[in-house]
Amino acid sequence: MVGRSSRNIGGLAARRRRNIWVGFSIALVVLLVASGAVLLALKPWTDDFRHGGLTIAAPPAPVRPFPQVAPAPSNAPAPTPAGIAAALAAVVGNPDLGAFAGSVSDADSATVLWSGDANKPMIPSSTAKILTTATALLTLPQDHRVTTRVVAGSTPNELVLVGGGDPTLTAQPDGKGYYPNGPRLSDLVAQIHAAGRAVDTIVVDISAFAGPTMAPGWEPVDIPEGSIAPIEPVMIDGGRLDPLVEYSPRTATPALDAGRRLATELGLDPGRVRIGTAGPGAQQIASVQSVPLRDRLREMMVHSDNVLAEAIGREIAAATGAEPSFTGAVAAVTAALSRAGFDLTGMSMQDNSGLSTEDRVPPRLLDKILATAAKPSGSSAVRPSNTMARPETDRLAVTLAPLLDDLPVAGATGSLAGRYVSRDRAGAGWVRAKTGTLSVASTLVGYVLDHDGRVLTFALMSNDRPPEASRPALDAIAGTLRNCGCS
């Protein structure tokens, strides 16, 4: 019984296996037939097969770029004071402006079109850098460079790092520090090694600068908050503790830190670094140079770099025979602007960066500098330039014209990159201006092409309001000038 049942079960299993094989064979035939149909419909070498049956669009026709930057038209209708006043009436009365003063001029005619307390001394904040830039253009060649040197010390195993006033040295391994194309500490190290001198001590000479390292009206908290470092003639990445971050906390001892980093790169004990002076006529062992002045001015203006502004102020002072200090640099700027014919009544400065809350400048002066730079003969940025013999004022315009190219672009670059983005968008790309921001002051000084194609310069200064309120109000004024057809 058992065996018979086993045979019956075995026979059933055999039949099922045969049925499975028969079913599999039929399915395989069906699959092959279907596959053949697909192969017939979609051949592997066709585009339809390769792209899953999708249709491939024809490539678009080539597009030719057409430059959109052109000189402002020379025949644009002139705006009138009444037209400007009517356009600005609503925006200049904004209570968010607090204590407000301003000036608007027509660059072509050098005519002041609108003013409100334009002679009133106001806290300029970083628009004071316009004064520094204008003075640098008036007194120094645009390719001027600053040198950082290493010389032999007073003992055989001593080297002296001599600061020349350049805060842009970098110690980044790839040489790409905060400042584009800044001089590299590694180049100094390589030259020292090549000289083959035994060394165990580094002295840092900071005698190129004089006086205090912090200006009146500066707050010590601005060092850890990243707005400034004590002004010494040699720094690494502007004294930033994080060399690639704009508002990184800064060191309180930038020159000493530079010497310590040089010692570390040479394999020396950083504890054997001290402040001192180089001997007269000391043998030079190594040197590096900053980028040209024109590049440092642009970096200072676009990113509103306070350390760079103070260093350039002392560069101006040294070149003009003034003391390389806060007091001497301010005196050098004052003298140069006065010689150029600018009325400095109401100007009282403590620094060259505008960080001091004790600085005062009337908007009339800042607008006048911009209007001079933007004269038709002076600016390749806004008008065709003709450098043939002209009156003194036109030669001044030619000298100051590069200042216009150093101004941030609304909604695009530097300290204006985040403005004119969510509001007043009509001014984006058209307003070019230096910004200024302190807790007690916001300012905007620059130029704009109005709706008719006329170049208008402006200086807009708000005090006694927090920047989150006053900055949008200032942006609205400049945006209104852009939209103005005020002839």
pLDDT of res. 389: 39
Q: Are residues 184 and 125 in the same domain?
A: no
State the chain's maximal CA–CA distance in angstroms.
Answer: 131
Kindly state the average pLDDT of the residues 471-479.
97
Q: Are residues 460 and 395 in the same domain?
A: yes
Confidence of residue 72 (pLDDT cuts 50, 70, 90): confident
Give me the sheet containing 432-438, strands edge to edge: 111-116, 99-106, 455-463, 441-449, 432-438
Q: Are residues 169 and 254 in the same domain?
A: yes
Which segment of 67-71, 265-269, 400-404 scores lowest on mean pLDDT?
Answer: 67-71
Q: So which residues are the catalytic ones?
A: 126, 129, 304
Predicted confidence (pLDDT) at residue 34 exceeds the cutoff of 80: no
Whether 191 maps to a domain, the answer reads yes
pLDDT of res. 23: 41
Whether 216 maps to a domain, the answer reads yes
Whole-prediction pTM value?
0.84
Q: Are residues 152 and 211 in the same domain?
A: yes
Can you name the residues that pair with 360 across neighbouring β-strands?
Answer: 348
Cβ neighbour number for residue 75 with a 10 Å cutoff: 5
Q: Are residues 367 and 273 in the same domain?
A: no
Give me the sheet containing 147-152, strands edge to edge: 273-276, 201-205, 158-162, 147-152, 284-289
Q: Are residues 136 and 152 in the same domain?
A: no
Kindly state the average pLDDT of the residues 467-481.
97
- Give me the phi and psi of 269, to 5 degrees please: -75, 120
Q: Are residues 268 and 183 in the same domain?
A: yes
pLDDT digits (tens, 9 = 90+) for 177-199: 999 999 999 999 999 999 999 99
Q: What is the 3-state secondary structure (H, E, C) of the chain?
A: CHHHHHHHHHHHHHHHHHHHHHHHHHHHHHHHHHHHHHHHHCCCCCHHHHCCCCCCCCCCCCCCCCCCCCCCCCCCCCCCHHHHHHHHHHHHCCHHHCEEEEEEEECCCCEEEEEECCCCCECCHHHHHHHHHHHHHHHCCCCCCCEEEEEECCCCCEEEEECCCEEEEECCCCCCCCCCCCCEHHHHHHHHHHHCCCCCEEEEECCCCCCCCCCCCCCHHHCCCCCCCCCCCEEEHHHECCCCCCCCCECCCHHHHHHHHHHHHCCCCHHHEEEECCCCCCCEEEEEECCCHHHHHHHHHHHCCHHHHHHHHHHHHHHCCCCCCHHHHHHHHHHHHHHCCCCCCCCECCCCCCCCCCCEECHHHHHHHHHHHCCCCCCCCCCCCCCCCCCHHHHHHHHHCHHHHCCCECCCCHHHCCCCCCCCHHHCCCCEEEEEEECCEEEEEEEEECCCCCEEEEEEEEECCCHHHHHHHHHHHHHHHHHCCCC
CA distance from start to end of the chain: 119
pLDDT digits (tens, 9 = 90+) for 45-68: 555 555 566 667 788 888 777 666
Whether 44 maps to a domain, the answer reads no
Whether 281 maps to a domain, the answer reads yes
Q: Are residues 280 and 151 in the same domain?
A: yes
Residue 19 buriedness (CB in 10 A; 0-12 / 13-18 / 19+)? exposed
pLDDT of res. 46: 57
Kindly state the average pLDDT of the residues 388-414.
86
Q: Are residues 478 and 380 in the same domain?
A: yes
Tell me how long the chain is.
Answer: 487
Whether 434 maps to a domain, the answer reads yes
Q: Are residues 132 and 154 in the same domain?
A: no
pLDDT of res. 101: 98
Whether 251 maps to a domain, the answer reads yes
pLDDT of res. 314: 98
Predicted confidence (pLDDT) at residue 379 exceeds the cutoff of 70: no
pLDDT of res. 381: 43
Confidence of residue 292 (pLDDT cuts 50, 70, 90): very high
Whether 305 maps to a domain, the answer reads no
Domain count, the chain: 2
- Comparing C-alpha atoms, which of 287, 288, 286, 285 is closest to residue 156? 285
Q: Are residues 399 and 443 in the same domain?
A: yes
| Domain encompassing residue 386 | 81-141+343-483
Report the CATH number at residue 349: 3.40.710.10
Q: Are residues 261 and 356 in the same domain?
A: no
